Structure 1
Amino acid sequence: MKMLFLQKQKGFSLLEILIGVFLLMIVFIGIIGAYRVGLRVVSQSRLRVLATALANQRVEFARNLSYVDVGTIGGIPPGVIPETETIARNGVDFIVKTTVVYVDDPFDGEAPADALPNDYKRVKVRVSWDSGTSGDVALISDISPKGLETDIGGGNLFVTVFNAVGIPISEAEVHVVNNDVLPVIDANFETNTDGKVLIAGAPASVEGYEVTVSKTGMSADQTYGTEVVAVPNTPHVTVLEGELTQISFSIDTLGSFSIDTFSPFGGGSFADSFVDASRISASQDIFLSGGAVSLASTTEYVPVGSITSISVGPAELVTWDEFFWNDSEPVDTEIRYRILFFDGLSWGEIPDTDLSGNSVGFINSPVDISGLSTTTYPVLRLYAELTTSNSSSTPLLADWQASWIDGNAIAVPNVDVHVQGAKTIGTDASENPVYKYEADVTTDGGGHADISGWEWDSYTFSIIHPSLSLVDMDPAPQPVTLVPGETKSVSLFVAAENNVLFTVTNSETAEPVFSASVRLTRAISGYDKTQFTNAEGQTIFIPLSSDSYNYEISTAGYQTAAGSVSASGNTARAVTLIPSGL
């Protein structure tokens, strides 16, 4: 007798192995991340040690100079220390920036009460780097003369910097240039916590000091010479011997504009390519097949049939536009079209007094329905009567459409916009104001443009094109106020005497076709422009002359559609694209 022994196998399943590997990966990723952070900290610490050593070297260099030589080359006070140096250490470039200013100590009074505000010199050395990681180190040292303060000659320039509401701006850079004195002055200073900087011992000069005030992320303010503006509001500064000259500047966080250009109206359309019966409200003795409507038949076609669309009632309707269709009428056949309205009890034909020829029926496409009152006729239905006198032949209705203008604004591309602030820097030779902020900008294909880096002010917007007019805007009215640090959205609504709004839809689904290329041309005038439809399948050509234009619409996956359109007033044209392969 044989006995079978079953031995239980021990080990890990594939799932257990995968879970273990995943957990190990999490652990190692954490370790690697911590290691990288540690390396970054070590590297930053090493760079900070090197920068501190460099700053100490420059400070000690200044301390060992004679008092008269403690100053920067081209600075106030003048001296032998370079204002900016690039020094390489261990393969890293360090930027060493040294500033030297006179300090007016409050112990013996401050300017303007203190006639000698040059009590001692303050040396500030800032060392910065940007090598994978960035940072800076700053050291300050005060250096006093061996004896009492003395008259160093020249005058004193006292600069104050504040923001839009008068709060002092600290650490603002004050750049001073004077090419009229020797040695030439080109120096940078920094405001204190009170937004002030005293530049003592400045050589006397009449309108020779060019002063520019700035700070990262903020606007700039400056003096101007006659080479920039004929009569400046703030001319270059004059410093007189033994006198104190005070000047103030205002800067603040930069703002921006987000500009969109629109037509004050949009448009839409009802279209049916008869792929199915979803857009038919009633029919009699007709047959729907292959994307077309024909007379019904068994062995022979019936003599007459009719079809009625569903109700068409656009929201925010401004005006009806056109009713048009595509059909085929062999010999002995005919289709007549009418437009119906609801009188409160039933649907009937719009009377000829409001739409001439409607009772007989229209045979030529398109039909202008822009004269219909939107109050009397807010909702319409399309109606077609198919007839034949030859029982072996039938007319075919391929599609029909009704278009309208509504109050839904649509983006207008490529509009030239002029933006002008209220602040001026002076006047030109003809005594016309010269504005501090003024620019022309063109909106893109989606009717959008951004303007950045502008300071707080009141701004006016205008349209440059002679055939376009600005009819409304949001916010309104002008001017538009921009506060510091704000991104202001501005919508501009433009209009013209003539324009054409295209709405492009899928013939099968009636859904809008996005990014279809719409080319509009008029050979006699040389007009040739291509635009692309938006998410609603629309694009507007504005402004146009009152003429007939040819259009061609194409996009991948669809057959190209072409035709002509007459631009007269606000014109809407609905076009259906047939998918390729149908």
Structure 2
Amino acid sequence: MNIFIKDKEGFSLVETLVLLTIFMIAGLAFYKSFTVATAYIIESKNRLAATQLANEKMEIIRSLPYDSIGTKKTDGAGGWIMGIPGGNILEFEEVTKNTRTFYVHTLAKYQDDPYDGTALLGTDTRPADFKDVRVQVSWNPDYIETKSAFLVSRFVPPGLEGNSTGGILSVNVQNNQGVPIDDVAVRLTNTNTGIDQTYNTTEGNVTFLEVPEDLNSNYRISISKSGYFSAHTYPVYDVLVPGSFNPIDKDTAITTGTMWTNSITMDEKVELKIQTKDMLGAFVPDVQFSLSGGRELGTENPTSIVKVFSYNQSGLDSGAAGEIIITDPSGLSSGIYNFNPINPVGYEFLKMSSSTNNSNEFYLQPNTDQTESAFFMKTAENSVLVTVLNNADATPLVGATVNIKDAGLTYDLTATTDYSGRAFFVNGSSALNSGDHTILVTASGFSDKSENVNVSGLVKEEIMLDAI
């Protein structure tokens, strides 16, 4: 009896894995498309609801009398802070619609129509010609513009223009090169008049119209922009107020019918790392120092030449690694900084790596990530610091040529004196040899001078040159 067994065909393991891979790729593509489509639908619903809320808000504003079209916000203590113009419209609101929270920001602003002259040109004594109202409804608490709906409407007063009831404040914002900066948030506050209003600059300028009068310079101007070092004005100097100083940017007064102009500079923030090194480039750990500088705020008092800066910190330490990143909650501004160390045992401070006219000073450029090295001379290391001075008045001679040779003539080194008349010598990446050395100094308009020194550790030699 013959028994025949028929082979049964099926999928191999490789074919099964390929099929599963194709299925997974197709499933992931479908899931991604579904996720994107769902997010798009949600975003569209949010935008539609936000637009509807913005329309409702604008219709309410249109029903108000012209004099009531202005903003206010709570001061957190049961009172109100008024905008410019002030009125009955809440500047900030939260509205819940279909379980979704929307954030409403209403900005009202006087506009100066150039048709009848402008306040900036001095050709219009009643510049508050009409009001523009901008309603932003966002489904993001940070009021991101891509997640917001906007409506803008213009409101014209009935009848003829009335007399001015306040003053005019024009604020110009530029960088340190005088270039105007756009889209800077300029905030005007005054606790006495109850004003708190923010506008953004266009072509580096923003103008506040119909600002309530205050003759006592209580209006504070604050400027801010992402990536920039924020700034503000300060009260005028008062000897009776602790911590008072004489500011460059002063709080301003406002008088009815008068235009006041204020210009403030700002620049991009900077990042700073400070390294402490010896003259051969090795890191020197645990150097304690203080650091001050940055934005110049003013002087200690009206008759003082001592400057006040935005950054002033003591008790800093370069740590075990010999380097530290300088941080501050407000960030660091560009400007001149002054480094004042406590010399570690066995070291003497010489200069900062980018110093140009003062050993302790260096300059931070705007919008930079800068590393600055503080160089220290090792007192036990064979080296020579030569200072060249004019014998007539003991002033440093810049650009003098200093040559040094050891007795065995194993090296012949030459350097040029810096802004302080100094030249420092080691032998490349090594210390100098011990023993006798010859120093020759030459300078245009002065007689040459040669001196012998015995090198053992750090030697500091002062050489006086006579004019020819």
Give 1:4 deviation, angstroms. 7.5
1:127 alignment partner, SS class: strand
Query: Matched residues in 2 for 1:495 and 1:24: separation?
Result: 70
Instruction: Indicate whether 1:17 and 2:27 are aligned.
Output: no
In structure 2, the partner of 1:202 is: 211
Q: Which of the numbers 444, 454, 462 marks the counterpart of 2:340?
A: 462
Equivalent residues in 2 for 1:405-554 (5 A)? 407=280, 409-421=281-293, 423-429=295-301, 431=304, 432-440=306-314, 441-451=316-326, 453-464=331-342, 469-477=348-356, 479-495=361-377, 497=379
In structure 1, the partner of 2:444 is: none
Alpha carbons of 1:442 and 1:63: their partners in 2 closer, same or farther (altered >3 Å)?
farther
Alpha carbons of 1:159 and 1:46: their partners in 2 closer, same or farther (altered >3 Å)?
same
Alpha carbons of 1:157 and 1:24: their partners in 2 closer, same or farther (altered >3 Å)?
same
Equivalent residues in 2 for 1:332-371 (5 A)? none
Query: Matched residues in 2 for 1:132 and 1:166: separation?
Result: 31
Contact 1:102 1:198 in 2 (8 A): no
Contact 1:229 1:434 in 2 (8 A): no
C-alpha distance after superposition, 1:120-175 (max 9, x if no partner) = 01112223333799623332211110112221312111112223433332322111
Counterpart residue identity of residue 46, structure 1: K
Instruction: Indicate whether 1:189 and 2:211 are aligned.
Output: no
Query: Matched residues in 2 for 1:5 and 1:96: separation?
Result: 83
Contact 1:126 1:136 in 2 (8 A): yes
Equivalent residues in 2 for 1:119-268 (5 A)? 119-130=129-140, 135-181=147-193, 184-192=194-202, 194-206=203-215, 207-225=217-235, 226=237, 229-264=244-279
C-alpha distance after superposition, 1:374-410 (max 9, x if no partner) = xxxxxxxxxxxxxxxxxxxxxxxxxxxxxxxxx4x33
Counterpart residue identity of residue 353, structure 2: D
Give 1:210 deviation, angstroms. 0.6
237-246 or 250-259, which deviates more: 250-259
Give 1:465 deviation, angstroms. 5.4
Contact 1:163 1:252 in 2 (8 A): yes
Equivalent residues in 2 for 1:13-162 (5 A)? 13-73=12-72, 74-111=82-119, 112-130=122-140, 135-162=147-174
Alpha carbons of 1:481 and 1:34: their partners in 2 closer, same or farther (altered >3 Å)?
farther
C-alpha distance after superposition, 1:325-363 (max 9, x if no partner) = xxxxxxxxxxxxxxxxxxxxxxxxxxxxxxxxxxxxxxx
Query: Matched residues in 2 for 1:7 and 1:212: separation?
Result: 90
Counterpart residue identity of residue 72, structure 1: T
Alpha carbons of 1:88 and 1:162: their partners in 2 closer, same or farther (altered >3 Å)?
farther
Give 1:450 deviation, angstroms. 2.0
Alpha carbons of 1:40 and 1:470: their partners in 2 closer, same or farther (altered >3 Å)?
farther
Contact 1:462 1:470 in 2 (8 A): no
Contact 2:343 2:349 in 1 (8 A): no
Query: Matched residues in 2 for 1:423 and 1:104: separation?
Result: 34
13-22 or 467-476, which deviates more: 467-476
Contact 2:295 2:334 in 1 (8 A): no
Query: Matched residues in 2 for 1:421 and 1:50: separation?
Result: 50
In structure 1, the partner of 2:423 is: none
Query: Matched residues in 2 for 1:456 and 1:178: separation?
Result: 29
Query: Matched residues in 1 for 2:38 and 2:285: separation?
Result: 51
Query: Matched residues in 2 for 1:215 and 1:132: separation?
Result: 15
Counterpart residue identity of residue 487, structure 1: D
Query: Matched residues in 1 for 2:162 and 2:186: separation?
Result: 26
C-alpha distance after superposition, 1:455-488 (max 9, x if no partner) = 2223333324575643344344464333332111
In structure 2, the partner of 1:344 is: none
Identity of aligned residues (%): 30
1:43 alignment partner, SS class: helix
2:110 alignment partner, SS class: strand
Alpha carbons of 1:95 and 1:20: their partners in 2 closer, same or farther (altered >3 Å)?
same
Alpha carbons of 1:132 and 1:138: their partners in 2 closer, same or farther (altered >3 Å)?
closer
Counterpart residue identity of residue 324, structure 2: A
Query: Matched residues in 2 for 1:437 and 1:127: separation?
Result: 39
Alpha carbons of 1:16 and 1:261: their partners in 2 closer, same or farther (altered >3 Å)?
farther
Alpha carbons of 1:495 and 1:53: their partners in 2 closer, same or farther (altered >3 Å)?
farther
C-alpha distance after superposition, 1:526-577 (max 9, x if no partner) = xxxxxxxxxxxxxxxxxxxxxxxxxxxxxxxxxxxxxxxxxxx89xxxxxxx
2:40 alignment partner, SS class: helix
Length, aligned pairs only: 355
C-alpha distance after superposition, 1:205-224 (max 9, x if no partner) = 12111110111222212110
Query: Matched residues in 2 for 1:39 and 1:473: separation?
Result: 58
Query: Matched residues in 1 for 2:376 and 2:99: separation?
Result: 58
TM-score by length of 1: 0.56
Counterpart residue identity of residue 470, structure 1: F
Alpha carbons of 1:422 and 1:258: their partners in 2 closer, same or farther (altered >3 Å)?
closer
C-alpha distance after superposition, 1:222-268 (max 9, x if no partner) = 1101456322212111112211101122223222112223344xxxx
Q: Per chain length, whose mean CA-contact separation is higher, i.e. which structure has more relative contact order (CA < 8 Å, sep 6+)?
A: 1
Counterpart residue identity of residue 60, structure 1: E
Contact 1:72 1:80 in 2 (8 A): yes
Query: Matched residues in 2 for 1:199 and 1:132: separation?
Result: 25
Give 1:8 deviation, angstroms. 4.2
Give 1:202 deviation, angstroms. 1.0
C-alpha RMSD over aligned residues: 3.0
In structure 1, the partner of 2:461 is: none
Which blocks of at least 5 consecutive residues in structure 1 are unaligned?
Answer: 265-406, 500-568, 571-582
Contact 1:123 1:140 in 2 (8 A): yes
2:337 alignment partner, SS class: strand
Query: Matched residues in 1 for 2:138 and 2:276: separation?
Result: 45
Query: Matched residues in 2 for 1:35 and 1:410: separation?
Result: 59
Give 1:188 deviation, angstroms. 1.8
